[in-house]
Structure 1
């Protein structure tokens, strides 16, 4: 029940995000003297609508986006004589760019407000690198329980301690594989347990692998005992260690949360830009996941997959992560819409900027302004960009349905 509640709640959050993005365009357009004809959430057939003033508001059947129809957004749009004074193409360039950027600004502000609320309510994950990759605690790795969905507390003597691992040790290699940080330790150990389970090793038993650690500047070779356990219905390996600085949460007051929010937002923004740049190379693994390959942790997700992830977080009572995922979604939408290709907001803004620069050059040559760009001439670019976005989006949606991303394997 909590999972379904989380899915619905996150889907509602996405809907509010889209609605506010489009509302940003609408409010900015009206403030700049433009006529807003329609404000809709969704695409396809109209489910419900009403008209107030000059604007029709409503919902459409496919909840995968929204739009704000502004009169005279391009020179190719039809308009009435009554709309003539309010056409977007007749407004100054700075107003047109502001209207196109307004939705993006709303997403950024909304993301920042969510992060600030999380900082005050829960604290924020530390953006500083871990103080060390050294072991902070050795303990019992698992209490084996059928159907367990959460990792147990780390107490008592575990297989790592029995193997000779000590507090302060830094892992250098496990089973011949180089270790660069604690995420590598977790991944290597879990995979060893998974493989052992496939080879018939019973839960609760251990497998021994050669391991090298750094202890006070000296290399120490150990025979690491990896215990085969079950977590969330999956057989994995565990050794019972925690790392100094990993998962650290910084606490804030409403005053100190201002700086903490700025720092966290900056780091999250950089990660979002990097994720967008890497998006093309993540496409094929998504295709492979549709046909049974493992869904990668950094796989892109659609609104379907994001809602599924939200459900998992609520099921695990991870409300801080739930809200930060929603903030991340807002930043991704903002950065994605900045891409300078039509039909995205950034593409429309670039065309306006092109018109301005072109007209300046024409004036230097003693020529009249060239007027608004004929969108028919840029339609091939628009069709290609729209086609790519459509194929990518549909592929991710299919993957989210047949092989959704699992946050808690």
Structure 2
């Protein structure tokens, strides 16, 4: 059963990512057709064609390698001309030959009647809309999935039911210095354990106050260090009255989102507070629609942070893959890594089905937001590179009008093909490295 659940989780994410890629290309296809650009191919994947069918002037199909997709439009590159308007002859330089070959291949796609249906003749704003259509589709998918998560399933919130009761208290500084995780005879017993609390107990009152939520309960515990207080909890339908004395101990300071606060040296900040040694169960609580966009924004900020430091992050992944260093759980991973995580989550039968389903949907949502951010990088062959080229063309033409010079014409993106090939090779190399690392040194999210 566990193996079947693992496979089901992997298949869910694979299908979700494939659908996301297909819809990304639809984001390019629809505005291109609306602006009357002739689209010759809409393909999901690369390599040999597995299946295709022609509808009108466009061939729709699937390729053997499901690692992306493309929409082929006629007239991506303008013809090379001299200042007099004559067609420039090819050079024997290697880079120039690459450019000329690509331009010739684009020219061979043209048919009679395509004169005003080529991509490069579109107004700049239309070209930008076409190229941004793909990333914006991923942003839309990610936002919709986040809405399903937050409004449908809900976000994990702590309840007043105990999930764990620690046997002892280990100060935070001692844990950081020694890595201690097990109790020793020298460690003081945890107050909750001494008071007889058990996982599954539901706390209903503390220090004479009704416990309605975990956050309030935690605050009262911290304030009651060293003082004996009353506590009431429900076990097997019976309410039990008792007393308990929170122990003053050193605990990490947490930020609003629950992450540890660290100082300038990266050391966790601690403070002495009251402590019982109990943990809360989590349950999914649906949130209002107003929580969706802030959650999407937070996720985009995290993805952008990874992308901005991508070279360094990839180097760290490579170092981890070929050494004993652990993988950074916040670092980049490949589709293989995402699939493995999805399988592990799906196979965790101790977790409620709703929580597992929500996590899988969250993975697909996160991939879509990552595709949105990554495709905005202003380098060819990414969509952001085409947008940057269109903007540069607009800037050149605006400057020419300002200084009353002749219109310089469309910017020749074909001249950037050598750089495009270099970027493509780097991206493929990065992908291979991430896949290798996800096989030999996968990210450990579950301990």
TM range, normalised to the smaller chain? 0.7 to 0.9
Matched residue count: 332
Q: 1:304 to 1:221 in 2, by over 3 A?
A: closer
Q: Distance in 2 between matches of 1:275 and 1:176?
A: 27
Query: How many angstroms does 1:348 deviate by?
Result: 0.3
Query: How many angstroms does 1:282 deviate by?
Result: 1.5
Task: Provide, for residues 375-397 of structure 1, a one-character-per-residue CA deviation record: whole Å limited to 9, x for no partner.
Answer: 34222322332222111111001
5+ long unaligned stretches in structure 1: 131-135, 140-152, 166-170, 178-187, 194-204, 223-238
Task: Provide, for residues 38-97 of structure 1, a one-character-per-residue CA deviation record: whole Å limited to 9, x for no partner.
Answer: 011111111111111111111111111111111112223222333222111111110000
**Mapping 1:114-153, distance limit 5 Å:** 114-125=145-156, 153=163
Matched, 1:310 2:326: no
Matched, 1:251 2:251: no
Task: Tell me if the contact between 2:37 and 2:73 (Cα under 8 Å) persists in the aligned partners.
Answer: yes
Q: Distance in 2 between matches of 1:313 and 1:176?
A: 28
| 2:85 equivalent in structure 1 | none
Task: Provide, for residues 351-378 of structure 1, a one-character-per-residue CA deviation record: whole Å limited to 9, x for no partner.
Answer: 0011011011111222222122223422
Matched, 1:65 2:73: no
Query: How many angstroms does 1:301 deviate by?
Result: 1.2
Runs of 4+ in structure 1 over 6 Å off? 208-211
Q: Distance in 2 between matches of 1:69 and 1:21?
A: 14
2:124 to 69, 81, 93: 93
| 1:279 equivalent in structure 2 | 310
Q: Distance in 2 between matches of 1:243 and 1:206?
A: 17
Matched, 1:407 2:442: no
Q: Distance in 2 between matches of 1:13 and 1:37?
A: 26
| 1:200 equivalent in structure 2 | none
Q: 1:247 to 1:292 in 2, by over 3 A?
A: farther
1:367 to 405, 426, 436: 405
Matched, 1:34 2:37: yes
Q: Distance in 1 between matches of 2:222 and 2:318?
A: 44
Query: How many angstroms does 1:250 deviate by?
Result: 4.5
TM-score normalised to structure 2 length: 0.67
Query: How many angstroms does 1:122 deviate by?
Result: 1.2
Q: Distance in 2 between matches of 1:68 and 1:80?
A: 18
Q: 1:322 to 1:242 in 2, by over 3 A?
A: farther
**Mapping 1:200-211, distance limit 5 Å:** 206-207=183-184
**Mapping 1:254-265, distance limit 5 Å:** 256=288, 258-265=289-296
SS across alignment from 1:34:
coil
Task: Tell me if the contact between 2:13 and 2:363 (Cα under 8 Å) persists in the aligned partners.
Answer: no
SS across alignment from 2:44:
strand
Q: 1:352 to 1:250 in 2, by over 3 A?
A: same
The structure having more radius of gyration, on CA atoms, is 2
Q: Distance in 2 between matches of 1:19 and 1:312?
A: 26
2:56 to 31, 53, 57: 53
Task: Tell me if the contact between 1:159 and 1:240 (Cα under 8 Å) persists in the aligned partners.
Answer: no
| 2:19 equivalent in structure 1 | 16
Matched, 1:174 2:174: yes
Query: How many angstroms does 1:332 deviate by?
Result: 0.6
Query: How many angstroms does 1:299 deviate by?
Result: 2.8
Q: 1:31 to 1:172 in 2, by over 3 A?
A: same
Q: Distance in 2 between matches of 1:242 and 1:65?
A: 47
Query: How many angstroms does 1:346 deviate by?
Result: 0.6
Q: Distance in 2 between matches of 1:240 and 1:291?
A: 42
SS across alignment from 1:159:
coil
| 2:164 equivalent in structure 1 | 154
| 2:10 equivalent in structure 1 | 7
Q: Distance in 1 between matches of 2:68 and 2:277?
A: 44
SS across alignment from 2:424:
helix
Query: How many angstroms does 1:221 deviate by?
Result: 5.8
Matched, 1:384 2:422: yes
